Amino acid sequence: MSWLLLLGVASLTSSGIYLLLSRDLLRSVIGLTLLGTAINLVLFTSGRIGPVQPPIVPDGLAALADAANPLPQALVLTAIVIGFALACLALVLAVALREDEGTDRVDALRGTEPGEGEDGKPLPMPMPEDGEAPR
């Protein structure tokens, strides 16, 4: 069982990094989501995986010897919610950027960055003139 989970984490991590380093914006968002899923699996496997007793202590007993640890499960549930919100936000920003710039290629989006000055620092963004929306 642990080898299967290790293989799943390794495949999710490698495919997530591959997609994250892609030059396509949507693939990068999917890669970020896959990396979050791999991290969730690592957290989930840190609490005992397998047929163990639930962490419910009956009245009169101090603690169970072979009970599952509920903390990693709670952390994973929280991380799933945060990861879903992050994926939704990244998708909304990617769609807005694609509509604004007309492309989703990362190389083509380099033109939206400010240039570099003589000292190597980025130039300040130009202020919009009256009546124009800030860009």
The predicted-structure confidence for 95-133, as pLDDT tens digits, reads as follows 988 888 888 787 777 777 777 888 888 888 777 776 566
Residue-level pLDDT at 29: 92
87 contacts 29 by C-beta, under 8 angstroms: yes
Q: Around Cβ 94, how many Cβ atoms within 10 Å? A: 16
- Kindly report, residue by residue over 61-76, the tens digit of the pLDDT: 776 667 777 788 888 9
pLDDT of 134 > 60? The answer is no
Class of domain 2-50+70-109: mainly alpha
| Strand, helix or coil for residue 42 | helix
- Parse the chain into domains and list their residue ranges: 2-50+70-109
- Kindly report, residue by residue over 39-51, the tens digit of the pLDDT: 999 988 887 676 6
Residue-level pLDDT at 116: 83
Residue-level pLDDT at 3: 86
Residue-level pLDDT at 132: 61
Block residue for tokens 């709670």: 74
41 contacts 8 by C-beta, under 8 angstroms: yes
Cα→Cα distances 123→3, 108, 130, 132, Å: 51, 19, 21, 20
pLDDT of 89 > 90? The answer is yes
Beta-strand runs (E) in 65-109: none
- Kindly report, residue by residue over 3-37, the tens digit of the pLDDT: 888 899 999 999 999 999 988 888 999 999 999 99
